[in-house]
Chains A and B, each alone.
Chain A
Amino acid sequence: MTFLFDLVAQGAQMLLALALSPLLIGLIRKLKARLLRRKGPPIIQPWRDLIRLLRKEVVLADNASWLYRSAPYLIFAMTWVAASLVPTFATGLMFSWSADLIAIIALLGSARFFLALAGMDIGTSFGGIGSSREAMFGSLAEPATIMIVFTVSFVAGTTQLSEIAAYMAGNLELRASVGMALVGLLIVAIAENGRVPVDNPATHLELTMVHEAMVLEYSGRYLALIELASALKLLLYVSLIACVFFPVGLARHDARLEAMAIGLGAYLLKLAIGGFLLALFETSTAKMRVFRVPDFLGAGLMLGLLATLLVFVTRSL
C-alpha cells in the first residue's frame, strides 16, 4: 500500500511539473505585460500554443538527419526526468535517490548537448551561431552550478536533493556562504533559461539570439516538445531555488495527505512569487551584449567558488 502511495506521489510530481511549467511561462508573460500596462494573453495561452503546435504538420529541412528528428524527444525526456527529480511539494519521493543534484545538473547538460547538436544539423549559420554561444554559456554556467552544489552539499553534508531540502528546513539560519550560493544560482538560472539580460525569450530574428537561433528550423510537434522542455527547465530552476533556499512547507514523503496539500499550496505560492520576481527583473533590465555574458557568468562562478571556500574555512574553525 505504501509502495502504491509512493508511486502515485512520484507520478503526481512528474505530471504536476509537466502541467505547471507552461502555466509558469504564461504567468510570467502576463505579469510582464501588466507591468508594461498591457493586457497580455491569458495564463493558459502557452498550453494552447503547444496543443496547436502538436496538431500541426512538421516541415523538415531537406537535409535534416535522424539526429534532428530524435533530438526533441531526447531533450524533452531528459529535462522532464531532471525536473521530476527536484522536490516540488514533498521530499524523499520514491525515485528521488536515483540521481543526486550533480546528476540532475548533468542531465540538463545532456539536454543542452543534444539541443546544440540539433542546432547544427541543418547547416545554417543561425543554427551554428546559437549552438556556439550556447556551448560557451554552458561551459561557464555548468561549473558555476557545480560550485554552488558544492557549497550547499558541504553545508548539508549530502548531495541528495531531498536530504538537502530536509536539512535546510530543519536548520533555518542565515549563512553568508548560502547567501552567496543563492545569488550565484540566480545568475546561473537566468543565463541557463535564456532570460533577459542574457537572452530574450520573446524575440526571433535578432543577431543576439541564442536559444531561438538553435531551434529556428524546428516546427510543429518538434517545436512543441522543445518549448515544453524549456518551460520545464525554468520550472526546474524555480523549484530548485525554492526547495534548497526556501524549504518552507515541504512535506515528507511519508506525511499524510493534509501535509501534502499544504506542501502543494506552498509550492504554488513559491512559483507565483518566483514568476513575479522574474517578470519584475526582466522588465527593469536591458539585454546585455553577448560578450558581456561571460563576465556575468564569471561573477556567478566566482561567487560559487567564494562560497565554497567560505564553507571550508568556517567549517574547520
Chain B
Amino acid sequence: MPLYLALTCISALLAVGVYAIVDRRNPDISRNVYRLCIALCSILFLAAAMPRGANVLSTTLPFGLPWLGMHFRIDVLSAFFLAVVNLGGAAASAYAIGYGAHEKEPMRVLPFYPAFLAGMNMVVLADDAFSFLVAWEFMSLASWALVLTHHHDAENRRAGFVYLLMASFGGFALLMAFGVLGGIEGAYDFASIRESTKEGWKTGLVLALALVGMGSKAGLAPLHIWLPLAHPAAPSHVSALMSGVMTKVAIYGFIRVVFDLLGPPAFWWSIEPLTFGAASALIGVLFATIQSDLKKLLAYSTIENIGVIFIALGLALAFKANGLALPAALAFTAALFHVFNHSLFKSLLFFGAGAVLGGSGERNIERLGGLIHSMPKTAFLFLGGCVAISALPPLNGFVSEWMVFQAILLSPSLPQWTVKLLVPAVGVALALSAALGAGCYIRAYGVAFLGRPRSDSARTAKDPDRWSIGAMAALLTLCLLAGLLPSLVIDTISPAARDFVGGRMPTQAELSWLSIAPVAESRSSYNGLLVFIFILFSAYSARWVIHKFGSTRSRRAPAWDCGYIETSPTTQYTGSSFAQPIRRTLGVIAFSVKERLDMPAPGDIRAARLNVEIKDRIFDYLYAPLTRAVETCASSLNILSLLTIQEYLALVFAALVFLLVLVAI
C-alpha cells in the first residue's frame, strides 16, 4: 500500500509539471503548483512513515525494458531517504509559495520543479539498474534545467555547462558500474544482482565507479567543482533542494550499491570513502571560509558535510568488514543522522540566503551588514541554522558529529594497520573541519547580519512573507528537536543499520532521562535536553540575580571603539579581512594564495592596493590538464571526419574484425 501510494504521488508530481505548462496563462499558477507539491510531498512523507507490514514491499510495473519491466521497492533505507527527500521537498515548496512569486520567468521553473522532486523520489524507490539510471538522469536533467533558470547571466550558463558535463560523466560511471554488476546475462534487477557472486576485480571496479558516479553528484572532492557553481545559480528554493536533498539521494545511491548490492565488504573498501571524505571535508570548509558570495559559501559547506557523511560511511564499512556489528551500526547511524541533519539545516540556510537575496538584492556579504535590524526574523532563524551546522550543542549538528567521533574512538579494535593509521588522520581532518566550519559561519553571520549596513540595499532590506518565514521556522524547530531528543531519531534509523550493517545500536529510548549512549553509559553519553535545560536555567538565574541585586539600567550612546569618532561603515571588518588569518596560515597550502602589495612611490598620489590572488589547485592541476588533453585528442582525431568513403569502409571493416576477434577470445 505505501509503495503504490508513493508511485501514485510520483506520477501526480509529473502531472503537476504538465499542468504547469498547460495552464501557464493562469496568474495563480505558481502558487497552485507549489501548493500541490506541498500536498504530494506530505503524502509521500506519510507513505514513508507508514507501517509496512512485511518490512520490504516491491512491485514490478510493465514499463521500460521489455524483458525487465520497472521494479520498485521500499525498504527501511528507501523509507528513510523518502522521508528526508519529501521533508525537504515540502519545506522548499512552502518556502517557494512566497519566494517563487517574484520569479520573472516562472515557466523556467514551474514545469521542472515537480519533475525534479519526482525524479529524486523515483531514484530512492528504484529496484533495478534500468529504472535507477532513468530516474537518476531524469533528476539530473530536471535540476540542470532549473540551474539555467536565470540563463541571461553568462556565469549561470557556464555553471549549467559544467554541471551537465559532470552529471553525464557521473551517469556514465554509474552505467558502467551497473553494467559490471549485471554481468553479460543482463540480470539488472537488484534482487538478482544481490544474489550473484562477485569476483574480486569486479567489486573493486564497481566500488571505484560507484564512488565516482555517486560522488560526483554528492560533491565529493575532487569531483565537486560543479557544485559551487550550479547550486547558487538556481533559485534559492531549488538551491536548497539541490544542496540539502539531491546530494542525499547520491548518498543513498552509494549506500544502496556498496552496502547492499556488492555483498559483504572487505576492509580496503573503507579506504576510498575515508580518504576522499576527509579531503572533501577540509577542501569544502576552507573554500567556504574565503567565499564572499553567501550562496557559494553554503554550497562549499555542503561539500564539507558530504565529506563528514562519507567519513562515517567509510568507518561503517571498515567495522562491518571486520564483523564488528555494534561500531558499524554506530558509524552507519551517525552517517544517516548527519544526512537528516544536513538536509534540515542546509535547506534552512539556503532559504535564509534566498530571503536575504529577495529582501536586499545582494548575495555578496561584503555589501551587506546590519541585517539583524532590518530583517529580524530571518536573522534569528539564520542564526539558528548557523549554530546547528557549526556542530555546536545543544542543536542537532553536534549530535551527529559527536557520534562520528565516538565511532572513531572505537577504531583501535580494527585489526588492519592501514585503516588503523588512517583513522586518526581522518579524525584530525574531521576535528579541523568542524572547528573551521564554526569560524566560517561566525564570519558569514557576523559580516552579513551584524555590524552596520554597508549599502543602502542592506539598510532597507525587508523580511520575506509568512510562508517563507514559516518554512524556515519549521526547519529550525526540527533542528532543535533532533538536537534535544536525538534518541528518537537514532531509534528510527536503527532498523536500517540492522539490515545494512548487521547490527544495531542499543535502543536509546530505554535510557533514563532521554540521553543517548552509543555503546554503554560508562563509555560515553550525551543528553542534549539536559544540557539545554541547564543552559537556560543558568542564564535565567543569572539574569534574575542580576536584575534583583544588581542594576537593570541601560543607556544608549555612540559606540566607544577606543575613543575613535563615528566613522563610515566601510571601516568595519569585511569578510575578506575576517578570513585573512585563515588565508595566511592555511592558505598557502590549501589554495596557493598570493598576496601582493602595490605601494605607490613617495609623491605618487595613486591609491595603494592589496592584490590577493586565490587559485583552486584541483582545477589547475586536475581539470585544466584534463580539458587540454581532451582537446588535443579531439583535434587529432579530427582527421577522421575528412576521410574518403573507401577509407570509412575500411575502418568499419577493421572495427568489425577487431570486435569479432574480441568475442572469439
State the A residues within 8 Å of B (CB). Answer: 54-67, 73-74, 76-78, 80-81, 95, 97-100, 102-103, 106-107, 109-110, 112-113, 116-117, 119-129, 131-133, 135-136, 138-143, 146-147, 150, 153-154, 157-160, 163, 204-205, 216-217, 220-221, 224-225, 290-291, 294, 301, 305, 308-309, 311-312, 315-316
Q: How far is the CB of A254 from chain B (nearest CB, A)?
A: 15
Cβ-defined partner of B559 (8 Å) among A61, A65, A99? A61
Given A73-B543, A98-B530: A217 and B554 within 8 A (CB)?
no
In the bound complex, CA of A90 to CA of B515 (Å):
22
Closest Cβ neighbor of B545 among chain A residues? A54
Q: How far is the CB of A138 from chain B (nearest CB, A)?
A: 6
**A132:B581 contact, CB within 8 angstroms:** yes
Closest Cβ neighbor of A127 among chain B residues? B573
**B383:A67 contact, CB within 8 angstroms:** yes
Flag whether B27 is at the interface (Cβ < 8 A): no
Q: How far is the CB of A18 from chain B (nearest CB, A)?
A: 10
- Chain B, 395-409, CB within 8 A of any chain A CB: 398, 402, 405-406, 408-409
Cβ-defined partner of A99 (8 Å) among B412, B527, B554, B580? B527
For B434, list chain A residues within 8 Å (CB): 142-143
For A128, list chain B residues within 8 Å (CB): 446, 451, 572-573, 577-578
Closest Cβ neighbor of A73 among chain B residues? B539
**B402:A160 contact, CB within 8 angstroms:** no
Given A147-B427, A217-B561, A308-B424: A55 and B550 within 8 A (CB)?
yes
**B527:A97 contact, CB within 8 angstroms:** yes
In the bound complex, CA of A229 to CA of B556 (Å):
24
**A221:B551 contact, CB within 8 angstroms:** yes
For B569, list chain A residues within 8 Å (CB): 123
**B555:A57 contact, CB within 8 angstroms:** yes
Cβ-defined partner of B409 (8 Å) among A54, A66, A153? A153
For A294, list chain B residues within 8 Å (CB): 581, 585
In the bound complex, CA of A246 to CA of B585 (Å):
34
For B373, list chain A residues within 8 Å (CB): 63, 65
Smallest CB-CB A-B distances: 6 pairs:
A128-B573, A123-B451, A120-B446, A54-B550, A143-B431, A135-B439
Cβ-defined partner of B560 (8 Å) among A61, A98, A113, A141? A61
11 additional A-B pairs beyond A113-B387, A125-B561, A150-B408, beta carbons within 8 Å, are A60-B554, A60-B557, A65-B372, A81-B534, A98-B527, A100-B524, A123-B559, A136-B439, A146-B427, A160-B523, A204-B562
5 intermolecular pairs with C-beta atoms under 8 Å apart: A102-B402, A107-B393, A220-B551, A221-B546, A301-B428
For B445, list chain A residues within 8 Å (CB): 117
**B392:A120 contact, CB within 8 angstroms:** no
Cβ-defined partner of B427 (8 Å) among A80, A216, A308? A308
State the B residues within 8 Å of A (CB). Answer: 369-370, 372-373, 376, 383, 387, 390-393, 398, 402, 405-406, 408-409, 412, 420-421, 424-425, 427-428, 431-432, 434-436, 438-439, 441-443, 445-447, 450-452, 513, 515, 521-527, 530-531, 534-539, 542-543, 546, 549-551, 553-562, 564, 569, 571-573, 577-582, 584-585
Closest Cβ neighbor of A306 among chain B residues? B424
**B554:A139 contact, CB within 8 angstroms:** no
Cβ-defined partner of B393 (8 Å) among A106, A136, A315? A106
**A81:B581 contact, CB within 8 angstroms:** no
For B580, list chain A residues within 8 Å (CB): 132
Q: How far is the CB of B385 from chain A (nearest CB, A)?
A: 13
Q: What is the number of contacts between chain A and chain B, taking CB atoms within 8 Å?
A: 275
For A221, list chain B residues within 8 Å (CB): 546, 550-551
**B424:A113 contact, CB within 8 angstroms:** no
For B452, list chain A residues within 8 Å (CB): 63, 123
Q: How far is the CB of A121 from chain B (nearest CB, A)?
A: 5
For A95, list chain B residues within 8 Å (CB): 530, 534
**A143:B432 contact, CB within 8 angstroms:** yes
In the bound complex, CA of A56 to CA of B513 (Å):
41
For A125, list chain B residues within 8 Å (CB): 561, 571-573
In the bound complex, CA of A301 to CA of B431 (Å):
11
In the bound complex, CA of A154 to CA of B423 (Å):
13
For A217, list chain B residues within 8 Å (CB): 559-561
Closest Cβ neighbor of B425 among chain A residues? A305
Cβ-defined partner of A120 (8 Å) among B451, B559, B562? B451
For B420, list chain A residues within 8 Å (CB): 312, 316
Interface of A: prevailing SS: helix
**B578:A100 contact, CB within 8 angstroms:** no
**B535:A77 contact, CB within 8 angstroms:** yes
For B390, list chain A residues within 8 Å (CB): 109, 113
Given A58-B551, A159-B524, A160-B522: A120 and B535 within 8 A (CB)?
no
In the bound complex, CA of A67 to CA of B550 (Å):
21
For B581, list chain A residues within 8 Å (CB): 132-133, 135-136, 290-291, 294
**A62:B556 contact, CB within 8 angstroms:** yes
Closest Cβ neighbor of A59 among chain B residues? B557
Q: How far is the CB of B507 from chain A (nearest CB, A)?
A: 18
In the bound complex, CA of A36 to CA of B406 (Å):
47
Which residue, B424, B450, B526, B553, has most C-beta atoms of chain A within 10 A? B450
**B392:A106 contact, CB within 8 angstroms:** yes
Q: How far is the CB of B183 from chain A (nearest CB, A)?
A: 40
**A106:B530 contact, CB within 8 angstroms:** no
**B398:A106 contact, CB within 8 angstroms:** yes
**B393:A309 contact, CB within 8 angstroms:** no
Q: How far is the CB of A58 from chain B (nearest CB, A)?
A: 4
Q: How far is the CB of B171 from chain A (nearest CB, A)?
A: 37
For A60, list chain B residues within 8 Å (CB): 554-557
**A59:B573 contact, CB within 8 angstroms:** no
Q: How far is the CB of B93 from chain A (nearest CB, A)?
A: 31
**B428:A135 contact, CB within 8 angstroms:** no
In the bound complex, CA of A116 to CA of B387 (Å):
13
Given A147-B428, A309-B421, A316-B420: A157 and B526 within 8 A (CB)?
no
**B573:A143 contact, CB within 8 angstroms:** no
**A123:B428 contact, CB within 8 angstroms:** no
In the bound complex, CA of A65 to CA of B485 (Å):
31
Cβ-defined partner of B539 (8 Å) among A64, A77, A120, A205? A77
For B425, list chain A residues within 8 Å (CB): 305
Q: How far is the CB of B282 from chain A (nearest CB, A)?
A: 11
For A97, list chain B residues within 8 Å (CB): 515, 521, 525, 527
Given A107-B393, A131-B578: A158 and B432 within 8 A (CB)?
no
**A139:B526 contact, CB within 8 angstroms:** no
**A98:B554 contact, CB within 8 angstroms:** no
In the bound complex, CA of A55 to CA of B547 (Å):
10
Given A62-B558, A120-B450, A291-B585: A150 and B409 within 8 A (CB)?
yes
